[in-house]
Amino acid sequence: MITPAEKVMISLRGGHSNTVPFTIYERQIPQCRTEREMRNRGLCIVERSVPVFKTHTPHVKTKSETYLENGKTMTRIYWETPVGVLTCLRENAGFTSWIQEKMFKSPDNYKALKFLLRDEVYEPCYDAFSKAEKAFGGDAVFRASLGSEPLQTLISGIYLDMQDFCMEWMDNRDEILELYQVLVEKRRLIYPLVAASPASHANYGGNVVPSIIGPDSFENYYVQHYNEAAEIMHKHDKLIGTHLDADCRLLAQAVADTALDYIEAFTPAPDTDMSLKEARAVWPDKVLWLNFPSSVHLQSDPEVEQKTVDLLNELESMDGIIMGITEDIPEHRWRQSCTAIMSGLERHARENPELYR
């Protein structure tokens, strides 16, 4: 009998099985009766918490302090470098956490940021990954990460918030590009580590906001790194994708021209500016690993099931299609909504047997 993980990998390699696979991130589904029932029906957990390499900063001292503020659990982290101290503030929020304050406070922080990034050292931890994957069995697919793209690291990580990045891009671009170049060199050390690891596939960044980055910067500062990493991954028969869950139309052709194997977290209309049919048309050779439209979770169970069927009805083939959950679901709706999505996937297979032969 095919396992949920095997089913996902068939689709991730561009094929299909008896139904479209359904996946959800490990942090978004608590262990409970409903979770067990859905896993028995084929739900596959996407496990991202076990890395294939570790990062050390041997010349930077790190410490943290956790405290309550207005009923919220806050954690302040300190990075003490020889050229200055950097801090950020996180708020714990259920399944996730929010960065309320990033490292960059003023241009005075550039020296410390450069030191911190240059100080990173990477080493493989393949055994831990292999053991975790084996222990979980076929109910989870284990995904590695290449980190974020060099420029995106400065935006979507813990370094600069979006507004500061935009201001610094205009006022201190040379400083930003120095950080970018350091990150380019560091990412090139990571590619072969991930490619040689036991992981079958890895995400390379994502969360790009096209209206901020724009097509020119995407072409100049993102595409080359996808292709460089893909060349190394493909030599080891490993797959590479990126997490694009925003409006994608502006960047769609540039993404199509990359060597990426899959687009993960693609969110179809009504939540973005592209339908699933349009995405398949512009990315015919890429696997589409979807994020079920978050707004639909708030609809009734029959409506969620019907939306699932309607989405798949936009396609002429089920090859390279995976249904996923990559965003938080309202706590009071996840059980009903996820169950309805599974019912929609099963119903579509029953109603369209010719697409699953």
CA distance 91 to 223: 33
Nearest CA to 38 among 23, 26, 49, 28? 23
pLDDT digits (tens, 9 = 90+) for 260-286: 999 999 999 999 999 999 999 999 999
pLDDT digits (tens, 9 = 90+) for 130-168: 999 999 989 999 999 999 999 999 998 899 999 999 999
User: According to the model, what pLDDT value does residue 30 have?
Assistant: 86
Q: Enter the pTM of the model.
A: 0.95
User: According to the model, what pLDDT value does residue 95 have?
Assistant: 59
Residue 144's φ and ψ, nearest 5 degrees, are: -90, 175
CA distance 295 to 126: 38
CA distance 214 to 178: 20
Alpha carbon 349 to chain centroid, angstroms: 27
CA distance 355 to 315: 10
If you search the block for the tokens 């029959």, which residue do you land on?
A: 302
Q: Are 323 and 308 in contact (CB under 8 A)?
A: yes
Residues of the chain with pLDDT under 70: 94-96
Report angle CA 60, 65, 66 to the nearest 5 degrees: 145
